[in-house]
Amino acid sequence: MSQAAADSFRIGDVELTSRLWLGTSRYPNPRLMIEALEAARAQVITVSIRRINLLQKESTFLDLPELQGYRLLPNTAGCNTARDAILTAELAREALGTNWIKVEVIGDDYTLLPDPVELLAACETLVRSGFVVLPYCSDDPILCRRLADLGCAAVMPLAAPIGSGLGIRNPHSLELIRQLVQVPVIVDAGIGTASDAALALELGCDAVLLNTAVAEAIDPVRMARAMRLAVEAGRLAYGAGRIPRSSHARASSPTVGRILS
């Protein structure tokens, strides 16, 4: 068994080995998107239901043969209420044939931060309706614990505001979330570059989901590969166990046998 296969994790009843999930928007063209997905070796890709006309007869980019091997994670991007998110999720399940749903309920159009009250209400209903619920949420450990207690299959706290590229603003919160919940923790939103992705895995998070950092990079394919390698390195470092931080220097060479003047 390969190391990747041995280091898998589960979402619901699905076992995954790739810890890098990618979005499918903002790419200059579909061909570049496919090349980036291949470079990332992603297994899960997200798509906004608002980007797809579910009633049209014509094919969409989801019909591209190159996308058939990926697990699709539709999301409720653009929803501002629990009611809208629930309706969007039900439409996605019927149209796309998957009960996986990334639940986004946004509080306002300026910060694009999640509305925790509406999010909890949406997730509670969707879990009862048989969905595999993956909520996009703030990096609030108590909120994440509440979502996990509701039966969500994972929690997806932000690193920073959507599309900001600011990286992980509060690593301590992510560490607390990892300690408080038993479900997978997937860092979502705000990742800017490879070091951000590596840090997320070093903190014990199970995966990262990103879009803009790859899609709007000068070279999306090269950035996708960089993100993949960063995630692998971060996971290895987490498993290896970092040395404790020290407020002062510690000599690496022994003092025994030192020549004295």
Dihedral sign from CA coordinates of 85, 215, 17, 202: negative
**How many other CB atoms sit within 10 Å of the CB of residue 39?**
19
**Residue among 225, 227, 172 nearest 203 (CA):** 172
Secondary structure of 12-59 in the HEC alphabet?
CCEEECCCEEEECCCCCCHHHHHHHHHHHCCCEEEEEHHHCCCCCCCC
* Catalytic one of 74, 75, 77, 102: 102
Dihedral sign from CA coordinates of 251, 256, 259, 261: positive
Q: Is 102 a catalytic residue?
A: yes
Residues annotated as catalytic (active site), given as ranges = 102
